[in-house]
Structure 1
């Protein structure tokens, strides 16, 4: 029996450490440190051959800022699965377009610009729309929200937009919005300022990187926080 005691103690300590690590993974973690773009990388096609092109992704006043041009994406280095993402964002002056892409994989898969992904739209007055980018997702009332079935698709010329469920969920221009995206298995749910604005299922992927767009409008992000489900 004496020889077994150290083994039991070792096993208990090992198991305790594993449980502790699992609990830590469920504690919300910021993807943006407020100082620089550590943990992210930039993919902007216009920067490939122009040594003078500047990145549209900067840090200003402890906020992550996407500038108007050149257009492209800021992509996490890590791949994520089964998580809740909470983002505080706003258009500080002019209404415009932008989005957060979940389950991101192959870069420049559409139009030589957009990575393979499912976009959660942040465009002013359309926050929460899904855009299918060489990946797909289903929603209830599909034809009403996406158009005739024969036009559905995930590539150029196809109906890739899936309209959200609400109007009036966004804050007035210049004020902060909170978007929550829950990715669990092949489902994606989206809330804007507490309103459930979209819910999809049977997504063609369940994991990938997370990306932010620079798509012709200045946007500010003060919080980008993830917690594992």
Structure 2
């Protein structure tokens, strides 16, 4: 019995190690295969320029026209590693996890949980018709009666740290871990946010075009399996 238990444990460890070793190239460095753009302005002006391009092997969000680049595939229990920078003027951008219904908020944003990338605010959560809880909710989200996930509600949840980002123009590493109903975020090695009781646990991944140009020189996704939340 003891031998069988050890064998099962070994198999579990091997399976977990194999899962962790898998890195799915959700961006292949060549083109936007596996992604599709949702840019509302294109509904009326289909000839408007792109919001997302590949340049020098990097995925680039040009910031405008406003919209989202969304994976074709749906993911569950995964970790995203992104290396990004604002090459020019800093501004707004974000990575959306557990994305689903398109244009669910303000006829623009897909139903999701946004991990903010805006300079000096990286790691904030924004609830977009999905919700998530954190410790010290009142201090980090404001009065409970103002909380919500739709237009006009307090959807922002402040991160845990100041000063985790590198100076403007330099590269940052953001790691987003989604497992079960929990989402954890690190910026340059610092744990900057941790949420639980998320109302979604699977979905697409989306990158925003929200006003500022952002370069991604690394964008990887790896599954998390065989571990406990």
Alignment TM-score, normalising by the size of structure 1: 0.89
**Could you tell me whether the CA contact under 8 Å between 2:19 and 2:223 is conserved in 1?**
no
159 and 24 in structure 1: CA distance in 2 versus 1, 3 angstrom threshold = closer
Among residues 32, 41, 60, which one is paired with 1:37 in the alignment?
32
Map Cα deviations across residues 116-171 of structure 1 (whole Å, 9 max, x no partner): 00000000000000000000000000000000000000001100000000000001
Map Cα deviations across residues 42-67 of structure 1 (whole Å, 9 max, x no partner): 00000112132112100001000011
Higher gyration radius (CA): 1
- 1:167 aligns to what SS in structure 2? coil
2:118 aligned with 1:123: yes
2:215 aligned with 1:226: no
**Could you tell me whether the CA contact under 8 Å between 1:105 and 1:115 is conserved in 2?**
yes
Which residue does 1:67 correspond to in 2? 62
Once the 2 structures are TM-superposed, how far is the Cα of residue 23 of structure 1 from its aligned partner?
2.7
User: 2:166, 2:81 → 1: CA distance?
Assistant: 16
Alignment TM-score, normalising by the size of structure 2: 0.89
Among residues 205, 212, 218, which one is paired with 1:210 in the alignment?
205
Once the 2 structures are TM-superposed, how far is the Cα of residue 111 of structure 1 from its aligned partner?
0.3
Which residue does 1:7 correspond to in 2? none
Which residue does 1:82 correspond to in 2? 77
> Which residues in structure 2 correspond to 1:173-212 (within 5 Å)?
173-212=168-207
Q: How many aligned residue pairs are there?
A: 212
Moved more, 63-72 or 103-112: 63-72
- 1:46 aligns to what SS in structure 2? helix
RMSD: 1.6
